Amino acid sequence: MAEHKALSASELCRKYDLAALGFKDTSELEDLWEPLGQDRAVEAIRFGIGVRHQGFNLFAFGPAGAGKTETILRYLEPEAAAKPVPDDWCYVNNFAEPDHPKILRLPAGRAKELARQMESLAEEVRVVIAAAYESEDYRTRLDVIVEQFKLKQEEAFEELQKKAGEKNIALVRTPMGLALAPARGGKVIDPAVFSKMPGEEQEQIKKDISELEGDLQTAVRMLPELEREQRREIIKLNREVTSFAVDHLIDENREKWKDCTAVVEFLDEVRDYVINHSDVFRLSKDEAVETAPAQVAANIAIQQDRVIGNCQVNVLVSHDAKGGAPIVYEDNPTVENLLGRIEHRSEFGSLVTDFRLIKAGALHRANGGYLILDARRLLFQPYAWETLKRELRSREIRIESLTQMMSLGSMVSLQPETIPLDIKVILIGDPVLYYLLSQNDHDFHNLFKVPVDFDDRLPVTDDAVTLYARYVATEARKKQLMPLKRNAVEQVMQRMTRLTGDTERLLSHTRSLSDLLSEADYWASSRGAKQITGADVDQAVKAHIYRSDRLRERTQEQFERGTMMLDTDGTRVGQINGLSVLQLGDFAFGRPSRITARVHLGRGRVVDIEREVELGGPLHSKGVLILSNFLAARYTEDKPLSLTASLVFEQSYGGVDGDSASSTELYALLSALSKVPIKQSLAVTGSVNQFGEVQAIGGVNEKIEGFFDLCDFRGLTGEQGVLIPKANVKHLMLKDEVVAAAEKGLFHIYAVASIDEGIEILTGEKAGELNDSGNYPVDSINGKVKARLEAFADAARRYVKSTEDGKSAGPENG
């Protein structure tokens, strides 16, 4: 049997030595501007923000906390600053169709100027029109018109009265209107007197009245026409007076905006609108209160405010003329926050709206620039994802509420004119979201053609180590922390390597590094230091673990107090110590478990008790199924596998998954079949394939440390240790206590590549190799297993034969 040596202490943890860099603390190191280890992502960002063709929006994905947003902004801000400032956007009243507000597109920075001018103009219009109507000239001209039409009415009735007087008929006013009655001496005859008059005279009077009634009706029919003509003259006068009052104000503003045709046209529309609605200003608010009931006065005030408001400008988006293209991050991407919204106000118990209540959304603010959204939050908002896709496809911003989209409610709303959309959208999310959308959303690749894949690991090279030291210095200065001494940087890099679970990689995860530096700064400041040392970093790591490891300690107590059974010395047949990892949030720890195997004659099944009771996951079940095939292929090629074996994690009351215990279970099976005991001072982890090769697993550091802690509590004997796959040696970043124990020979880590290597370490006996005749040495593990399985096969054959013989000797055959 070849000697199996444990790994040396230097192989159990990577240490960094930065003496060659020649710095004492990070204040001597330059800032690192380029993101560390993100070459692929940076190239994608530069391409994505540079290409202007439709559909080349970006989806940045990677681990949460990897600094995706910060990295994107680092390249986006200078690019945006160099681009031209987009135009301003305003909504104004559509005087022909008020339910369809019109859009005004203005040069950058001029929208607010127009809004201020229109607000000032509207107030001046209110004042000058009211003053014009209160002027002596207007009142005189109005009185003239009224008098003229009054005279025309009187002339029409004077002629009728004269004609009636000649026939002794009087024109009188009654509650029912004008009427004709018989008269004598200019006085109406009493009906009693009229009844006593001669019949011929009465008939003549009736005849005269009948003739005059036609003239009276003609005169009465003239009154509405005269009134309409009077109103037309008054309107003409009002327009003339209003035009004289406001034309010079409009002309002043028209001159200021003569370079903007759309504004000039709008000013012309405002002029016509004000002139057409100038009558609402004939009665001032104060006069309305004095001369009209409160409700009427309120209505007049509302009408005046509405006319003034319809002449104003709703600035949707205004930019600084020197600001470059906008960069907008929308933290809550609901439909309304993306598209904007139309608000309502209450008037006399009803909800009303107008163009002034249109509010901008993130798409408006980012139009002409860049919009950054969190993909997960976007997808969780009802209709937000479909809405964003629709706007990007149509390249227009169409303001709609959810009630409109879903055809719910009957509230009167607006249909604003759409705005052309020119935008670059950057989604930030998880890799899972990116791949799910890629596979299931047919529009996704048409709209988001640039994937930005962030990594949080970089290979450990001399250049990478130098850059990482600058990276640490940059993060410390960015967070205004104390400088780190060189040994502190070394400790930080050691911790970041441990977090990757790979000695050949460094973790460039921004949040993890930032948190570690902040905690180390706290411990340094708590002792009054001015620099962060390696001891501070070590204290930060230990404190972070302590805050999270209550359940680990509770689990460890179960073994220490004997509640959970696990041996760390002696030998047992069919019993072995397996290792698993429990993950709680961002904290993981190893948990040793006793695994046992029992075998007996059967039908070639390896029973996974965990699977039978539905506690085993599919990966664990896969590993167990491999074992039966391994046994059959290695030991019983020409005979049936005639055993039933059972495997179980003892005192396991939760789910079990993963194949990292498959080699452990195979060792237990081999021990049970060969009846050779396994050293309980050793624990095992690693998966196995059908050829008996031990394969790499995850969480190797936590698994080793979990078993070490138990052995350390019970007392290290120099016999204890752990078997790991050889492929996992490059992942070892064990804590100092384990390394120190290994260096003293008190704890051992064995790296194995095959089951044969492992079983020799576990049992102290040779595994055995096939000889030329195809057999294993009789005294080897493999020889004993093969012999046991062949004995099972022979026993099964004898059992079947005896059963058949029993049937042939039955009563039916006599």
Maximum Cα–Cα distance across the chain: 163
Q: Which residue has the tokens 């460890």?
A: 556
> Minimal CA–CA distance to 463: which of 67, 22, 36, 40?
36
Q: Are 436 and 376 in contact (CB under 8 A)?
A: no
What integer pLDDT is reported at residue 37 of this predicted model?
87
∠ CA 226-228-229, rounded to 5°: 65
Span 623-670, pLDDT tens digits: 667 787 888 888 887 788 888 888 887 877 555 555 678 888 899 999
Classify residue 714 as exposed, middle or buried by CB count within 10 Å of its CB (0-12, 13-18, 19+): middle
Question: Which portions of the chain are predicted below pLDDT 70?
Answer: 1-2, 153-168, 170-188, 190, 192-196, 201-202, 208-209, 211-223, 283-298, 404-412, 607-621, 623-624, 653-659, 805-814
Of the candidates 424, 518, 423, 426, which has an alpha carbon nearest to the alpha carbon of residue 472?
518
Q: How far apart are CA 554 and CA 566, in angstroms?
A: 16
Instruction: Assess contact for 103 and 419: CB atoms under 8 A.
Output: yes
What confidence score (pLDDT) does residue 682 get? 95
- Distance, CA of 330 to CA of 316 (rounded, Å): 17
Q: Which of 439, 707, 682 is nearest to 564 (CA)?
A: 707
CA nearest neighbour of 612 among 645, 574, 565, 572: 645
The structure's pTM equals 0.80
Helices 261-276 and 111-134: crossing angle in degrees, nearest 10, is 30
Structure tokens at 327: 């960069």
* Beta carbons of 372 and 330 less than 8 angstroms apart: yes
CA 746 to chain centroid, in Å, comes to 52
| CA distances for 668 relative to 637, 755, 760, angstroms | 21, 11, 13
How confident is the model at residue 194, as a pLDDT?
67
566: left (phi over 0), alpha (psi -120 to 50) or beta: beta
Residue 286 has what pLDDT? Answer: 46
Q: Cα separation of 608 and 419, whole Å?
A: 65
DSSP per residue over 239-262, as a string?
Answer: HHHHHHHHHHHHHHHHHHTTT-HH
E strands of 25-129, at which residues? 58-61, 88-92, 102-106
C-alpha–C-alpha distance, residues 71 and 38, integer Å: 9
Query: Which active-site residues does the annotation give?
Result: 660, 703
472 close to 517: Cβ distance less than 8 angstroms: yes
Instruction: Classify 400 as helix, strand or coil.
Output: coil
